[in-house]
Structure 1
Amino acid sequence: MKKFIKYLKIYLLLIFLLFIYTIFCAHSYSNDISAELSNAVFRLHVLANSDSEEDQHLKIKVRDALLSYMNTLSSNCNTKEEAIQIANQHKNEFQTIAENIIVENGYNYPVQIKINNFYFPTKSYGDISLPAGYYDALRVEIGNAKGKNWWCVMFPSLCFIDISSGIVNSEGKEKLENNLNSESYELISENKTSTEFKLKFKLLEVFSHNGLFTAKN
């Protein structure tokens, strides 16, 4: 009986160690891929003043104007760092563009433009999905910023070029692929119905939701 208990303890210890090792490997895998994704993209987050129909329409107009301007500025960017540098250099212009759109539509809401590291939920852009986590982003807060928000990726440009059909910029996808290793890109762009994809993506969401990674500049 004593020998049985001894072996049982050893067996349970091995199971515990295997469990700890599995968690460590899963965390390491998730952290590496999530950090790489975070370091490859520069995102956009626009918050409307409220959920009223008028404020939501205004949000879309501000979004379109800012995206058009950013696409012009970042057309020759090849890295996230270049895109952030350009955004910082033209931060006042973003502010002016947003304010002008608001005034042109008969409102006097204040606007705050922030470039920082923010938490984003899981979002899909066509056949590209980005897990929840912290990403560097340009945040536009209109008025009270209490309304529904709008998210996209400014670099590489993954904002929908056709909202109704869910088509994203093919050039943006190519730049994203160039800024990621093959495993990371395949994970966020492969068949989302596969069991392997769901398992790996869930790992990314679980660990990133607990704030276990942030972008490294």
Structure 2
Amino acid sequence: MDASFVMTNTAQTAYSQSILGHSIYTKWRGSTVETLQVLSQSSKDPMLSDLYHHLMIIFHIPLKSLCTVAGWTATEDAILATKKELYKWMVDNPQAARKTLLHGAILFKSLRSRPLITYSEAHELLVATLTIWTYTSLHPSRSEDTLTGPKIYLDRHMTDDQERSWILSPNGDSPLYISGVGCILNDSAAVRVLLEAKNCFTRKSHPWGIYHQIMTVFEVMASSGTAISLDQF
């Protein structure tokens, strides 16, 4: 092959970034999101709604970053660097972080409300769980008795005004709740979300191999705080 057609990793990265930053791509992505949102709201098929929330999460946080911060197939240096990147993103873009958390909570609720039978549902539960876990792990912990604001249930229906109000100007003293997990701002929330996600796979789920693999990841993370020991899994 002619050397001129062979890209280095650096060139590939620069090329990808140039595409992602192009106005045509931005418009296409925006149109795709709007279309999925309309379809998910008008359809009674939960899988279509799940797909929408799944995509909205990875538009903001790539799955690779979620797996890295969890320690799955990652080095300690990569974990630390990714934690710093995501924490900076949460601080610099709090509205995007809260919106992503909201998508994760809604997706988590949808998946835990029914038996899981498809291969894609395993990936969706992985993404939803790691999104909530990452937010909980990086957000300063608060005991519930110090959270005196009105309770906010992230996975329950909010009006557009309520959702917009929380995303744009949240009450920092409000406890945030997710069904099956409880308040996600206290010290033990990260472990609880992992254990609840693991339980989702045991409730009459189809025995896909990926289900058992992700269950093991959640178990190890819950017991040790990281999946780094599963690098070769």
Q: Could you say whether these structures have the same fold, taking a TM-score greater than 0.5 normalized by the shorter chain as the test?
A: no
Larger radius of gyration: 1
Question: What's the TM-score once normalised by structure 2's chain length?
Answer: 0.25
Q: Which has the higher strand share?
A: 1
Q: Which has the higher helix share?
A: 2
Question: What's the TM-score once normalised by structure 1's chain length?
Answer: 0.27
